[in-house]
Chains A and B, each alone.
Chain A
Amino acid sequence: MSINTKIIGRSVPRIDGRDKVTGAAKYTGDIKFPNMLFGKILTSPHAHARIISIDTSAAEALPGVKAVITHKDVPDIKYGISPARWDENIFCIDKVRFVGDKVAAVACTDEETCYKALKLIKVEYEVLPAVLDFRKAMDAGMPQVHDEYPKNINVEIHQEFGDIEKAFKEAHLVRTDAFLGNRAYQSPIEPHSATSLWDGDKLTVYSSTQSPHYFQYYIAREFGMDMGNVRVVKPYVGGGFGGKMEPTGLEFAGAVLAKLTGRPVRMFFDRHEMFAHNRGRHAQYMEITTGVTKDGKILGAHSNFMMDGGAYTSLGIATAYYAGALLPLTYEFDHYKFDLFRLYTNLPACGAQRGHGAPQPKYAFESHLDNVATELGIDPMDIRILNARRPETVTPNDFAIHSCELTQCLTRARIISNWDAKKKEGGMPKGHGIGVSTGSFVSGAGYPIYRTDLPHSAVVIKVNEDGTSATLYTGAPDIGQGSDTVLCQMAAEAMGFHYEKMKIIAADTETCPMDLGAYASRLTLMTGAACKSAGEEIKKSLLEMASSMLHLPPDDLECEDAIIYSKSRDGKALTFQEVARKHFVLKGPLIGKGSYNPPKLGGKFKGSPVGTSPAYSFGVQVGEVKIDEETGEIEAVGFWDVHDCGTVVNPRLLHGQVHGALSMGMGESVWEEVLFDDEGRIKNPDLANYRILTALDMPPVESEIVESYEDIAPWGVKEIGEGSTNPTMGCFSNAIYDAMGVRVYSLPLSYEKVWRALKEKREREHGGKE
């Protein structure tokens, strides 16, 4: 279905583009207040240790130090982002649980004094044995990370839908493969920071956050304050990717230090501290078994996973459920079993990273599916087309799928990548290989992170008194993905106004209606729906006003391009501006309100809410790689991404999301991995040794979308930002296999691992040594 829109579908330039290319854009760390202090957090040097004593006297005596705080100075209420497990304290009380765990904080007149003061805090520790390998965390005799959670089990999941035994019994082939994932880190370019200041009983926190609302909720809860007395403001944010979803010690410690000193306090992480705070991708051990018919039809699948959670829960309960819950999205089968343990270790806590729990399981499943296809002698593209999900179906775990153009995406990817020609004998140069993988993701989570009946998104649009502009007020945080721009496009579309005349005030809990935040790829659909309602309310008020001015019935009138005209009579027209002005004069402010609550979604079993969404995106990636047989070096020759993301609001921004997701996915596929020494210290906590893509590494990419319309969403929109990360790792794995006939069973698929796999293959083929 194609729709007739004026602004939706246009690549308008970003509303914040000018600010960002001139240096005018202020990020949290750029904001300065008179009399402001600087604060830093002291962290643990040990992976696991008992705190015997803390002596802050020498630090307090240093000139320029204004306050030093430890657990004694802050509430001892445990917090977290996931109410299922609140297991963090602002500062450690009896034990530290990873290298980087928070112990104390200082506020000083300048940054340099902060570092000197931290060195003067004396903490006596009794070092304890640590859990560093999640795969051994449940073993007998392992140390306990948290006394409350026996065998270091943070969460365990056992779900079965249909009858997996029966499916495997009826299958022509039952195959199991096991894969190991990597710890990846979001690595936004902007480090986290937060500046706290008090005005009487009211606390204001400027923070580089993806969710002002959750920050407000958790800060208020921790300090026993009314939410109305906590204002969280998001200035420009330099990327989040899931790592800025939950309040850190920066907000909590900063608030306490600001209260104690009576001065604004800016707290900040350096790059090393960002890696230590983490909340990045969980490393997962993934065993996948499927039963298929002779033709390659999947009858059932069993996912058996373990996850390295790190020392705390963070968003990990949701991650754990997502890991298995999203797997049945792209392929249709009736029988599904999902088992998982998320384990505590004495390493930095893992959380939600772009694609949440899904990308690593997707790597495992897509690699496994190619193994199955090879065993059956079926083309990898054909086995995916055979099993591809169709529209208006339900997954075995009760997710209702409406629009779904996965088959079209596969068919199109096959054509634009020249798949069939390349798969023929001699279709590609020596050393080249081509792989395909699919992905799908939620367009917003069906349920909020903590239980509440508040709407997920709400907005207000206020038309300026003289009708020459309109301002959108929304709690939705633009963290770089472009929500300020697309939401203004959607608001203007609904009003019949001009995008160029839109202003926006966003992500400030005091001036804007609430929004849950930038996560689960939710803003375009959910906040977009609120913008549509608010814009339509404005249009309705305008048409009523115009009706009395033109003496025509309101339903004979329409507003487009800021012109209100009669649908039946030529020549009868007024401008948006004059009608809006008249409205203000006669009826007061011209305001539209909108809010969005998803419909009731999902099944009735334990964990059923995770993975529910009003709508799901679908996508396919094909990648061509070239492998250097001598060195194992992987060169990405070309990538093709074809997506079903419903109606596209802003094509240029959309393709930018695909490119960015691909670059992050490629980094995680080939290079990215946070490494630890045998005492739990990070070996590569910087951007020289934790290698993200440079401009020289990015392969040529063709990004296409297929025609699709989601009935349940405003203007038929769906998500793009997170889902595009899901296929990439599987795509690389399969392309490498196609090129060399070797499968690398662990991420990252590094040059070294490819080289070793090739060496082993040669040894096998030559019956022993080379």
Chain B
Amino acid sequence: MNTIQDKEGVKRYMLSLTVNGDPHTVVVKANTTLSQVLRNELALTGTKQGCELGDCGSCTVLMDGKPVNSCMVLALEAEGREVTTIEGVAEGAKLSDLQESFVNHGAVQCGYCSPGMVLSAKALLARNPHPSELEVREAISGNLCRCTGYVHIVEAILAVSEGRTTPPEEANAGGEA
């Protein structure tokens, strides 16, 4: 990896990675995190920062298809890797089934956890297309949501595993089926 040194003697590394299919080369320090590269260098602010300690999961992205907390991954670890952020989930203007299902099921409230939640769910369905409810809950247990109590999020993910993106009933004012 090419390096240069600044005036104070701090080394900078030339990092090459693929994000949402696009090749990028950026200059980073050894302590730069992947989330910082995505948000600050590549302006992909869909990757959220909630705690920067790996607790909340808002910064979840996929690295070679596997969900990671991008605040806990050093940028240099992404050298030569394929990174998928929330901006890379839709196919052009068409939402993916998971995104569509999240919207239709009311799985989104404040939306701050939603990018990470969608990516964790995407990784789950890629490795296990028909998960049980418990497997869904386990897969998103590293993504904290303070708004929804997870009920509609779990419904939205299970719906996609059953080939749906809308709730079975379109609820009227009344009981929630």
Please determine whether B110 and A271 come into contact, CB atoms closer than 8 angstroms.
no
Contact B174 A705 (CB under 8 A): yes
Cα A170 to Cα B44 with chains together (Å): 69
Interface residues on B, range: 35 or more
Kindly state whether residue B56 has any CB partner on chain A within 8 Å. Answer: yes
Q: Flag if B108 contacts A704 (CB, 8 Å).
A: no
Docked CA distance A696–B145 (Å): 12
CA distance A686 to B144 in the complex (A): 12
Cross-chain pairs A/B with CB under 8 angstroms, 14 sampled: A13-B103, A19-B111, A22-B46, A23-B45, A239-B147, A241-B146, A271-B51, A652-B106, A652-B167, A652-B171, A660-B109, A664-B146, A692-B144, A695-B141
Residue picked from A11, A663, A692, A696, most chain B C-beta under 10 Å: A11
What per-residue 1/0 map shows which CB atoms of A639-662 lie under 8 Å from chain B? 000000001100111011001111
With a cutoff of 8 Å between Cβ atoms, the chain B residues found around residue A704 in the complex are: 174-176
Q: Mark A690-713, 1 if CB is under 8 A from B, else 0.
A: 001111101001111100000000
Tell whether, in the assembled complex, residue A21 and residue B174 are in contact, meaning their CB atoms are under 8 Å apart: no
Q: A32 — which chain B residues lie within 8 A by C-beta?
A: 43
Query: Distance in Å from the Cβ of B166 to the closest Cβ of chain A?
Result: 9
Alpha-carbon gap, A342 to B59, bound state (A): 39
Whether A693 lies near B149 (C-beta < 8 A) is yes
B138 within 8 A of A: yes
Q: Which residue, B51, B90, B138, B144, has most C-beta atoms of chain A within 10 A?
A: B51
With a cutoff of 8 Å between Cβ atoms, the chain B residues found around residue A656 in the complex are: 106, 109, 147-149, 151-152
Min Cβ gap A509→B in Å is 21
A17 at the interface (CB under 8 A from B): yes
Nearest-neighbour CB distance to chain B for A70, whole angstroms, equals: 27
Q: Are A660 and B176 neighbours in the complex by a CB distance under 8 Å?
A: no
CB distance from A508 to the nearest CB of B (A): 18
Indicate with 1 or 0, residue by residue over A1-31, a CB within 8 angstroms of chain B CB atoms.
0000000011101101111111111110110
* Contact, CB under 8 Å: A480 / B111: yes
A22 CA / B50 CA spacing, docked (Å): 18
Q: Cβ of B110 and Cβ of A188 under 8 Å apart?
A: yes
Question: Is the interface on chain A under 10, 10 to 19, 20 to 34, or 35 or more residues?
Answer: 35 or more
Interface contact B48-A27, CB-CB below 8 Å: yes
Complex Cα distance, B138 from A14, in Å, reads 27
Instruction: State how many angstroms separate the Cβ of B95 from the closest Cβ of chain A.
Output: 7
1/0 per residue, CB under 8 A from B, across A249-282: the answer is 0000000000000000000001100000000000
* Structural contact, A482 and B104, CB atoms closer than 8 A: no
Q: Is the CB of A22 within 8 A of B89?
A: yes
Whose C-beta in chain B lies nearest to the C-beta of A5?
A: B173
> With A11-B106, A652-B105 as given contacts, are A662 and B99 in contact (CB-CB < 8 Å)?
no
A225→B28 CA distance, assembly (Å) = 43
A688 contacts the other chain (Cβ, under 8 Å)? yes
Q: Are B109 and A695 in contact (CB under 8 A)?
A: no
| Contacting residue for B152 out of A10, A239, A241, A659, CB 8 A | A659
3 shortest interchain CB distances as A-B pairs: A23-B46, A480-B110, A238-B112
Residues of B135-177 at the interface with A, using a CB-CB cut-off of 8 Å, are 136-138, 140-154, 167, 170-176
* A190 and B50 form a contact (CB under 8 A): yes
CB of A23 within 8 A of CB of B115, answer yes
- Check B110–A17 contact: CB distance below 8 A: no
Set of chain B residues within 8 Å of A653, measured between Cβ atoms: 106
- Rounded to whole Å, the gap between the CB of B40 and the closest CB of chain A is 9
Mask: chain A, 221-260; 1 = CB below 8 Å from B; 0 = not? 0000000000000001111010000000000000000000
Cβ of B70 within 8 Å of any chain A Cβ, yes or no, is no
A237–B110 Cα distance when bound, in Å, is: 6
**Residues in A neighbouring B52, C-beta threshold 8 A:** 270-271
A residues near B105, Cβ cutoff 8 Å: 652
Known contacts A17-B103, A663-B148; 10 further A-B pairs (Cβ under 8 A): A13-B103, A18-B103, A30-B39, A188-B146, A236-B110, A238-B48, A686-B51, A687-B56, A692-B144, A695-B145
* Residues from chain B with Cβ under 8 Å of A692 in the complex: 144, 146
| In the bound complex, CA of A27 to CA of B110 (Å) | 10
Q: Residues of A at under 8 Å CB distance from B?
A: 9-11, 13-14, 16-27, 29-30, 32, 186-191, 236-239, 241, 270-271, 479-482, 647-648, 651-653, 655-656, 659-664, 686-688, 692-696, 698, 701-705
Determine the distance from Cα of A186 to Cα of B103 in the docked complex, in whole angstroms: 25
Residues of the A chain whose Cβ atoms lie less than 8 Å from the Cβ of B151: 655-656, 659, 698, 701
Q: Report which B residues bind A (CB closer than 8 A).
A: 39, 43-53, 55-56, 58, 85-87, 89-90, 95, 99, 102-106, 108-115, 118, 136-138, 140-154, 167, 170-176
* B104 to chain A: closest residue by CB: A13
With A22-B86, A660-B146, A663-B149 known as contacts, the answer to whether A651 contacts B56 (CB < 8 A) is no
Q: Verify B146–A651 contact, CB threshold 8 A.
A: no
Give bound CA distance, A109 to B170, whole Å.
51
> Residues of B contacting A647 with CB < 8 Å?
173
Indicate the member of B86, B104, B154, B175 with the most A CB atoms within 10 Å.
B175
Residues on the B chain within 8 Å of A9, using CB: 172-173
Residue in A closest to B145 when the chains form the complex, CB atoms: A189
Of all chain A residues, the one with the shortest Cβ separation from B98 is A21
With both chains docked as a complex, state the minimum distance between the C-beta of A672 and any C-beta of chain B, in angstroms: 11
Given contacts A23-B87, A655-B176, A659-B148, contact A191 B106 (CB under 8 A): no
Q: Do A698 and B46 touch (CB < 8 A)? A: no
Docked-complex contact B99 and A703, CB < 8 angstroms:
no
Contacts of B53 in A (CB 8 A): 271, 686-688
**Distance of A587 Cα from B16 Cα, bound (Å):** 60
Measured between C-beta atoms, what is the minimum distance from B70 to chain A in Å? Answer: 13
Name the distance in Å between A197's Cβ and chain B's nearest Cβ. 18
Chain B residue at minimal CB-CB distance from A650? B106
A231 to B169, CA, bound (A): 44
Instruction: With both chains docked as a complex, state the minimum distance between the C-beta of B123 and any C-beta of chain A, in angstroms.
Output: 15
With A22-B89, A480-B110, A659-B151: A695-B146 Cβ-Cβ less than 8 Å = no
A400 nearest CB across to chain B (Å): 26
Which residues of chain B are within 8 angstroms of A18 by Cβ–Cβ distance? 95, 99, 103
Taking a contact as CB atoms closer than 8 A, the residue among A11, A187, A651, A695 that contacts B137 in the complex is A695
Q: Is the CB of A21 within 8 A of B95?
A: yes
In the bound complex, CA of A188 to CA of B170 (Å) = 30
Q: A651-B174, A694-B141 are in contact. Are A21 and B114 (CB under 8 A)?
A: yes
Q: What is the CA–CA distance of A191 and B55 in the complex, to the nearest angstrom?
A: 14
Please give the distance in Å from A622's CB to the nearest CB on chain B: 15
**What residues on A are CB-neighbors of B142 within 8 Å?**
694
> A21 with B45: in contact, given A14-B106, A189-B58, A692-B146 (CB under 8 Å)?
no
CB distance from A727 to the nearest CB of B (A): 15
Separation of A707 and B109 alpha carbons in the complex (Å): 25
In the complex with contacts A11-B170, A18-B103, A271-B50, A688-B95 CB distance below 8 A: no
Instruction: Give which listed residue, A24, A270, A651, contacts B172 with CB less than 8 A.
Output: A651
Q: Is the CB of B111 within 8 A of A695?
A: no
Whole-angstrom distance between the Cβ of A518 and the nearest chain B Cβ: 11
Contact B146 A189 (CB under 8 A): yes
Cα distance, A271 to B146, chains bound together (Å): 14
CB distance from B38 to the nearest CB of A (A): 10
Say how far A525's CB is from chain B's closest CB, in angstroms: 16
With the chains together, A686 CA to B146 CA distance in Å? 14
In angstroms, Cα B106 to Cα A660, docked, is 12
Residues in A whose Cβ lies below 8 Å from that of B167: 11, 652
Task: Decide yes or no: A695 and B140 within 8 Å by CB, A14-B103, A189-B113, A651-B173 being known contacts.
Answer: yes
Q: A653-B106, A694-B144, A696-B137 are in contact. Are A20 and B51 (CB under 8 A)?
A: no
Q: Which A residues are in CB contact (< 8 Å) with B58?
A: 189
Q: Which B residues lie within 8 Å of A191 (CB)?
A: 49-50
By a CB distance below 8 angstroms, the chain B residues around A652 are 105-106, 152, 167, 171, 176
- A23, B110: Cβ atoms under 8 Å? no
Q: Report the minimum CB–CB distance from A210 to chain B (whole Å).
A: 11
Q: Which residues of B lie under 8 Å from residue A480 when comparing CB positions? A: 109-112, 147
Is there an interface contact between B171 and A26, defined as CB atoms closer than 8 Å? Answer: no
Contact A239 B146 (CB under 8 A): yes
